Amino acid sequence: MPGYFPAVVLVILAALLQAVVVLCGGFPATLQLERAFPTSHWVELSQLRSRDRARHGRILQSSGGGVVDFPVEGTYDPYLVGLYFTRVQLGSPPREFYVQIDTGSDVLWVSCNSCNGCPTSSGLQIQLEFFDPSISSTASSISCSDQRCALGAQSSDSACSSQNNQCSYTFQYGDGSGTTGYYVSDLMHFDTIVGNSLTSNTSARVVFGCSTTQTGDLTKSDRAVDGIFGFGQQGLSVISQLSSQGISPNAFSHCLKGSSGGGGILVLGQIVQPNIVYTPLVPSQPHYNLNLQSISVNGQTLSIDPAVFATSGNRGTIIDSGTTLAYLAEEAYDPFVNAITQASQSVRPVVSRGNQCYLVASSVSQIFPTVSLNFAGGASMILLPEDYLLQQNSVSGAAVWCIGFQKIQGQGITILGDLVLKDKIVVYDLAGQRIGWANYDCSLSVNVSATLSPGKSEFVNAGQIGDNSSSRNARDSLILTIILGLLLHISVFASISIL
C-alpha cells in the first residue's frame, strides 16, 4: 500500500496531462468585442428610448477541432447609440461582411448585388459590401422543395416563388423597416484558435439570406452594416446550423464590459464559472422569455402581482442584449421607482425630461439600494446601483443620476437590455433550454465548455486574443484546480482504504 499510492498519482497525473492537451482543442467560438465609437459626446435618455423603441418593434414583431473565432467590433455604452457587429466571411473566394449581432432574430442575411434601398456608406466608418452569388463558386440557391426552406416557413418568414421555384423571405419589422430577399447556401469561413495560435482553416456550409430590398431604418447610413446576424433559436439560425453539423455546441454566451472602454467576450459555447445561476426559458417562444416572479429592493419584495411579468399574448419578460436600456411593464414601473426613491432619502429627487433623477454628491454605491430580480427556479439577478442608474450630467457640483429603467406605456412587456446585462456572464444554453448569469469582471478571460458527445465535455480558455499570459495563467489555474481536487479525492480514498 505505501508504494501503491504514489504510483496511482503518477499514472493519473500522466493521463491528466494528456487530457490537458485535448482541452486546448474544443469547439466553442470566441468573439472578441472591441470599442468602435468615440466617447466625446452624450446622448439623452429620450434618444436611447427612441432607438430601443425601434429595436423593440423589430424583435417583438419579427417573423418568427479548434475554437471558432469571430472578430467582433462595436461597444456597449449607455450614452452612445452603439451596436455590436462582427465580420463574417462568405463564399468562394471568401468575402467579408459586417453584420449586426442580434439575439432578437434568427436568420443571418446580408445585402446582395442590385439591392434596392440598401445603403452604400456607413457612419460606422466601415466599407459596405454586397454579396453576389454568381461570383461564388460554392453558392447555390434554395428551392421550395428543400427542407431548409421549410425551416424558414416554421417562423412564417419564408415563401416560394412560383416563377423560379426559389425560396424567398420577407422580414417586416414593427418600426416600419423591412427586408426581402431569397435564401442561398454557401460556405462560411472561420478563424480558429488552437491553443494560443490563430489559424484560418475551417469552413461550413450554411443557409443565409440574400437581401434584395430594404426599407425604413435599414436604408439609413448612420449605423449601416451589411446585414444582421440572428442569434435566435429557430432552425435557420447559424447557431442551430453549426450545432447540427458538430461545429459548435447549441449554446452561446456573452460578457459585456460596463466600463467606458467597452468590449467584452461573446462565445459559441457555455462559459463555465462557479457562480452562474440558471432559470428555464419559457417554452415555445420566439424570443428569450424568462419567468420573472418578483423584484426586491434592499431585500424587501415589492407588491407587484407576479402575473405582470408572466408570458401571455403580448406580455412577458425578455432578455435582449441588443437593447441599450431596460424596460419594465407599466404596472411594475411606479412601485419600482418609488422603492428606489424611498430607500435613497439622503439624495434630492428631481424630474429631468420626464425621467426620475437624483442629485448625487457622492458615490451612488454608498447611497442607493441593491435590487434583486427574482426568477423561476430560485435564480436571482443582483443589480448594483450602476446597473439601474445612468449619469446624465452635473448641476452645481452634484451629479445627476437617473433611473435607467423605462416604462413601456400601455404594454405589459419587460425587457432586460445591456444596462442590466453588463458586467455579467450571460449563458444562453439552448440545448438545456435555460439562461444563466453571474456577476463578472468582463475584462478577464473565461473558460468555455463544448459538448462533444453525450456526457463528455471539453474546456477551452477564451478571452483576449493575443493575451497569451492571461490565457495561460487562467488555463494553468484551471489545471492546478483539477489536480488539487484529484489529489484530494485520492487522499480521501486512501484514508478510507486504510480504515
Averaged pLDDT of the chain? 77
Report the phi/psi class of residue 422: left, alpha or beta, with left for phi > 0 and alpha for psi in -120 to 50: beta
State the pLDDT confidence band at 257, using cuts at 50, 70 and 90. Answer: confident
> Which one is catalytic: 106, 191, 226, 320?
320
Residue 350 has pLDDT above 80, yes or no: yes
pTM given for the model: 0.76
Task: Please report, as a single letter, which amino acid is at residue 451.
Answer: T
With contact defined as beta carbons under 8 Å apart, do 337 and 354 qualify? no
Residue 439's beta-bridge partner residues? 424
What pLDDT, on the 0 to 100 scale, is given for residue 271?
86
What pLDDT, on the 0 to 100 scale, is given for residue 214?
95
With contact defined as beta carbons under 8 Å apart, do 135 and 261 qualify? no
Q: Is residue 175 annotated as a catalytic residue, yes or no?
A: no
And the C-alpha cell for 253?
Answer: 454566451
User: Which range (171-175, 267-271, 315-319) has the least confidence?
Assistant: 171-175
User: Which range (161-165, 387-391, 412-416, 437-441) has the least confidence?
Assistant: 161-165
Mean local confidence (pLDDT), 334-348: 93
Give percent of the chain above pLDDT 90.
Answer: 40
> Which one is catalytic: 52, 69, 77, 102?
102
Question: Could you identify the residue written with the cell 439624495?
Answer: 347
What pLDDT, on the 0 to 100 scale, is given for residue 492?
32
Q: Report the greatest alpha carbon distance in the chain.
A: 82
Dihedral Cα 324, 373, 57, 209, nearest 10 deg: 80
Residue 490's SS3 state is helix
Task: Please report, as a single letter, which amino acid is at residue 10.
Answer: L
Residue 13 has pLDDT above 90, yes or no: no
What pLDDT, on the 0 to 100 scale, is given for residue 401?
93
What pLDDT, on the 0 to 100 scale, is given for residue 110?
97
Q: Is residue 320 annotated as a catalytic residue, yes or no?
A: yes
Mean local confidence (pLDDT), 119-144: 94
Element (H, E) at 22: helix 4-23
pLDDT in tens, 27-61: 344 444 433 333 344 456 666 665 555 554 444 33
Residue 23 has pLDDT above 50, yes or no: no
pLDDT in tens, 167-193: 999 987 656 788 999 999 999 998 765
State the pLDDT confidence band at 280, using cuts at 50, 70 and 90. Answer: very high
Task: Please report, as a single letter, which amino acid is at residue 33.
Answer: L
What pLDDT, on the 0 to 100 scale, is given for residue 111?
97
Q: How many helices (H) and strands (E) does the chain have?
A: 7, 32
Taken in order 157, 188, 238, 439, the sign of the CA dihedral is negative
User: Which range (65-79, 90-104, 305-319, 483-497) has the least confidence?
Assistant: 483-497
Q: How many CB atoms lie within 10 A of CB 132?
A: 14
- Rounded CA-CA distance 449/153 in Å is 32
State the pLDDT confidence band at 367, using cuts at 50, 70 and 90. Answer: very high
